[in-house]
Structure 1
């Protein structure tokens, strides 16, 4: 059996955790296998955390066993699942698989008809490996469909904005409370909104109707925007602080003698914080006009923070 092992991409990492049932079904997931290793390599204890009999077929089980055996014995693949020392060594040699600054590492394994997301946690005393199994063709199809983004619409179906799969949104309740949620793509008409205590599946129209009934609203919390930045207030040339997801601004003790100097001071502060001019322009627009408007998305600005003009369609000889 041919096998490939490589660090998981950012998109693939979204599937290396427990999924809602609709996503598992659309991706043909047999389930999640949890394994415990020892230091010697003699033990490999495993159990199914969740599984679907419709996809956990005898053919799949044979393929899974062969894949695990290769990851435990074949030197070409570490062997990453041989024992704890081997897992540590393989993870340290593949730092690009590390999840931020956490002690977890994520890999994708392709074997037979399936793709597996392998989450390695060598620092844990128990449960050192989590194997998330999917039908490879169905996983690829779902990831491709999810590239379209998740639509948030009005009750009559008019699109307000889109967010990428796995992005955060903020629900502002009728009482001005806020609830941040992670949005996951299910299909063109459905999404999952999750938080640390659980998740809920909605049709996009149903979610819009619930917001209207409760007097709430929703805004995107784009990962392409910083948490805060410095900007210059157009009406007074005052240097201000803008925070993502919040209307209005905060005053600062920074100032410039005129607009040009104020812009220079704000730009220097943002550069030190790694904030680009495109992000600054989008943040200012979001705080003034709403975070759901196109002007609050940095992709709509050039490197100098100037709006990118939409391309005109060629009308031929029309007058």
Structure 2
């Protein structure tokens, strides 16, 4: 069997999915385990999803996989070994200190595991999939989720699992996680839509929708182009927030902004995208950091050779 750290786009599949996603990905069910207060136990329970896929071949193989991982020195041996693996493998973290992920593949099945090294909590959730079904869905989801006008004009795309912010006609802001179902269907929050149906509903209600890209920080510092004043920009919001930072000159302000953003872990590309979003809306292509180089300069798209065309 092949063992590796979960990729970021696979982490969502270590939680219970909607029926549509579970059917498409060939989810068989999941195992939940607690290693007891002393860290040496293995109290588990199983939840079925697709009993028709839970063949004797799968059950035999799953037992083999779990028993192999429970051997001395392997990650499920006990909570101490599990903790050691999690804290020494930061690339497996979901972005916090309580969730870590690994994937085990066999010829036919994929076992996506969410690990928690702490006492008093479930230490393992293992979601079991038909590998070919899951990988096919993940490949399609890489294209991202399309948001369009009612006339099918694409406005923006977001990666599977990212959020959008819906601003209602009365100014209420609703942040919703979105999941890719297929090229024409999306789950927004708890509701499933055809992408055109969602666009029509938003237009009829007078709502606006902007992406909250996970590639952008929650906020960053920037300086105004005209005055040089240091301000704070927030993801998904146009305009800026004033600060109490005294202004001396533009160059000093830029240096200060860079210092503050470095401490926040904000790159120059992210700052440039936040600047564009704050001025023109976060739905525009320029509000995506992938359109900028490491110095925060726009990446020029290559023009196709038109030959002798005039």
Q: Same fold (TM over 0.5)?
A: yes
SS at match of 2:175: strand
Partner of 1:304: 295
Change (3 A) 1:270 1:32: same
Can you list the C-alpha shifts for 1:258-294, whole angstroms capped at 9, x where unaligned? 5444434433433343323222222121111111011
Partners of 1:90 and 1:236 lie apart in 2 by 50
Structure 1 SS opposite 2:34: strand
Separation (CA, whole Å) in 2 of partners of 1:243 and 1:94 = 31
Change over 3 Å in CA distance of 1:102–1:68 after alignment to 2: same
Is the 8 Å Cα contact of residues 72 and 79 (structure 1) preserved in structure 2? yes
Aligned to 1:180: 175
- Per-residue deviation, residues 99-135 of structure 1 (Å, max 9, x unmatched): 3332333211112410001122242435332110011
C-alpha separation in 1, matches of 2:58 and 2:234: 49
Could you tell me the TM-score, scaled by structure 1's length?
Answer: 0.88
1:21 correspondence with 2:16: no
CA distance in 1, matches of 2:228, 2:77: 63
The Cα shift of 1:252 comes to 2.4
In structure 2, the residue matched to 1:212 is 203
Matched, 1:36 2:37: no
Superposition deviation, residue 15 in structure 1: 1.0
Partner of 2:67: 69
Task: Quote the Cα distance in structure 1 between the aligned partners of 2:230 and 2:121.
Answer: 52
Cα distance, 1:309 vs structure 2: 2.2
1-structure distance, mates of 2:291, 2:224: 20
Q: Please report how far the alpha carbon of residue 89 of structure 1 lies from its aligned counterpart in structure 2 after TM superposition.
A: 4.1
Query: Corresponding residue for 1:252?
Result: 243
- Across the two proteins, how many residue pairs are aligned to each other? 309
* Offset of residue 71 of structure 1: 1.8
The 2-side partners of 1:232 and 1:218 are apart by 27
1:46 equivalent to 2:41? Answer no
Q: Secondary structure at the match of 1:81?
A: coil
Of residues 235-244 and 255-264 in structure 1, the stretch that sits farther from structure 2 once superposed is 255-264
1:161-180, Cα deviation, whole Å (9 max, x unpaired):
00011112111111111111
Partner-residue secondary structure (3-state), 1:30: strand
Q: Secondary structure at the match of 2:53?
A: coil
**Pairing 1:226–2:217 present:** yes
- 1:121–1:238 Cα change, 3 Å: closer
- What secondary structure does 1:54 align onto? helix
| Contact 1:256 1:265 (C-alpha < 8 Å) held by counterparts | no
Distance 1:37 1:241, change over 3 A: closer
* Residues 18-27 or 85-94, more deviating: 85-94
Q: CA deviation at 1:90?
A: 4.0
- Which region of structure 1 is more displaced relative to structure 2, 308-317 or 124-133? 124-133
Tell me which moved more, 249-258 or 298-307: 249-258
Note the residue ranges of structure 2 that are not aligned, 5 or more in a row. none
The CA deviation string for residues 193-220 of structure 1, in whole angstroms up to 9 with x for no partner, is 23xxxx2222211211111121111101
Counterparts of 1:190 and 1:121, CA distance in 2? 33
CA distance in 1, matches of 2:290, 2:47: 40
- Post-superposition shift, 1:9? 1.8
Q: Compute the displacement of 1:30 (Å).
A: 0.4
Give the deviation of 1:295 after TM superposition: 1.4
Verify the 8 A CA contact 2:24 2:137 in the aligned structure 1. yes
Alpha carbons 1:67, 1:111 under 8 Å: kept: no
Structure 2 CA distance for aligned equivalents of residues 37 and 5 of structure 1: 21
Q: Could you tell which deviates more after superposition, 185-194 or 155-164?
A: 185-194
Q: Does 1:130 align with 2:125?
A: yes
TM-superposed CA distance for 1:315, in Å, is: 0.9
3-state SS of the aligned residue for 1:15?
A: helix
Q: Conserved in 2, the CA contact under 8 Å of 1:63 and 1:112? A: no
Cα distance in 1 between the residues matched to 2:227 and 2:87: 53
